[in-house]
Chain A
């Protein structure tokens, strides 16, 4: 393939040749001839002639039996197919030259744009000897959740003067998943004044077999002697026993607003990023407490993960969260109407949204409250993201902030636990704020 440089030289040569004939200037013709000669020499012996190549995954490679279809073969191995945001992925690219001639190759392993190369390089200029192979190692940092793919590997050969080149894409792809990072909520909740705020909520907050203290009551026949509170007996002269709060598994429903408006703000700092991280953290926390967690992600469609418990459920939830894309504009009311028949009455509901551009939010949450659901809203403030990104001036910010405060006040009036989650606030702090602790 001609480079622009060779095209320029070629055009120059043709122009000089014709001009030389027109002006009867032999110097111009001579220069044109020399340029033609340079171009011809580079084209014939530039070593660009054949980069027939093939690509395979490293795991498909089974030693010596694999015969490459061309002269250059690329294989890749990644350290993990699943990692969390801000995690690092080690990539090993194996390049083989199966030909008997040395080649000078430019190799660029395509990395998703949001990734950052932390160590090494994905762009290598190399001299690969005959029947030799080499390993290229680099580390990428993955700052944002999502489904990603490494590849293809672009290989280019060119003559030393960069006149002609030949490029080939080796279709070697490695897919990997970046989960939203999680905040450890355990410590925060243990330290809060009312532990287990969700597991005992509403209909679950009943006396029964459990570990946490619930109340004192008089002793009845049949009660266990082990439950007698001897100090209370000494004070009151009546046999009193400790009642414990029932350790019941509750259903937690987490609703994530993934409409197009949720991505308002910078790529790395917007409501959707915060919401997915919060949902992941909450899911991990509740699942660790043996609660049953289900999530609903809505944007251009309503995607839900049925309630379940255990580590497998956490993986399913994280996968769904990793794939959440800001699209569409389904109103919350549609989601509420759809899920209401399927969730247990009184289940705690956590709604993660920036509360933007949806006139049905108040009515939808009112419907929840009317059915006695314990609703917690964490609202990452898109206003702050946009203001920080200097997309809003002070006046616009103040106006919209007031509007937002009014909306939050209205929701609070419905009995919704709501927190205006500012960008620098930790999730645990925002949760504590929402619950009023």
Chain B
């Protein structure tokens, strides 16, 4: 039997009756107790860890909020990989970003000062990168990322110039382009690998604290390892393709008109940064169309049908 009645309509109970005053309201009194406050007891709210914006950018929590367990072998390998990439990246960054054109040079007009600042920034980025990876503290890694980007920001000319040309590449534009592409891929791989250190540390900690269970971990890790090799290769090839617009476009144009193709090859605009931009635009228009046609889903279906 369920009897429902609005709880507010109780005035008739008190009419003409002496109502004894009961104990004062707990909430009222709790509000008057000062320091203790009326906050909800701790165990009343289940603990929900919501990553902050910065944490989610890095793919893992900032260390002070979550203590990772000592790194397992996978994380250790990733750390070693980060150290290797970091050293190469630092070296290449210094190579392809000579002090001329840096904001320090623009501000001070002194090449020595600009050089010192550039070395300082790259060294700091490297040290922060090491610390972030070693301590698995995302804040250091974030600082390292920003410093590397700062190091590459230059008011430079379209042409790539080297600060220390130990391999004598300055005269070879193709090798210079390769160098820049390799540098870019290394930078992205540094982002990804250091990010992987946090992600897999978090995963490993979660596994060991029984928060998550992993089935077939070898296959999952194997896929990540494969991606670490395949993605940079694909990235390098595709980027090279995109950046070679000044050679690819004249090739196609040459089918119809060899003179126009020659002019294009010798065009300053096409070999400049605008040529690169044009090539990029061209390729990514194609990519945009692919996505517009929902090609990823079709490819997935095609792969599944093929497997059937």
Contact = CB atoms under 8 A, between A and B. Distances in A.
A33 B184 contact: yes
B20 A26 contact: no
A27 B2 contact: no
Given A21-B273, A27-B97, A161 B41 contact: no
B1 to A, nearest CB: 5
Interface stretch (A73-81, A328-336, A368-376): A328-336
A124 B213 contact: yes
Given A27-B152, A41-B235, A301-B2, A396 B29 contact: yes
B19 A19 contact: no
Nearest to B271: A26
A23 B235 contact: no
A260 B235 CA distance: 61
A20 B291 CA distance: 26
B175 to A, nearest CB: 14
A389 B36 CA distance: 10
B249 interface: no
Given A125-B203, A389-B41, A363 B22 contact: no
Contact of A393 (B34, B203, B296, B301): B34
Interface residues of A, number: 105
A390 B36 contact: yes
A264 B235 contact: no
Interface in A1-43: 3-5, 8-9, 12, 16-17, 19-21, 23-38, 40-43
Interface in A397-437: 399-400, 403-404, 407, 410
Given A5-B59, A161-B231, 10 more contacts: A5-B56, A26-B156, A28-B153, A30-B177, A31-B187, A104-B223, A114-B46, A303-B3, A396-B32, A396-B33
Interface of B: 1-5, 7, 10, 13-14, 17, 19-26, 29-30, 32-39, 41-44, 46, 53, 56-59, 96-97, 101, 149, 152-160, 177, 180-181, 183-185, 187-188, 191-192, 195-196, 199, 203, 206, 210-216, 219-220, 223-224, 226-227, 231, 234-236, 238-239, 242-243, 272-274, 276-277, 280, 284, 287, 290-291, 295-297, 299-301, 303-304, 307-308
27 contacts: A20-B273, A26-B160, A26-B180, A27-B96, A27-B97, A33-B184, A33-B239, A34-B239, A49-B300, A100-B308, A104-B220, A123-B206, A125-B220, A130-B307, A136-B213, A265-B41, A304-B1, A330-B5, A330-B7, A333-B13, A337-B13, A382-B26, A389-B42, A391-B30, A391-B37, A400-B26, A403-B22
Interface of A: 3-5, 8-9, 12, 16-17, 19-21, 23-38, 40-45, 47-50, 99-102, 104, 113-114, 117, 120-121, 123-128, 130, 134, 136, 159-162, 261, 264-268, 300-306, 328-331, 333-334, 337-338, 355-363, 382, 386, 389-393, 395-396, 399-400, 403-404, 407, 410
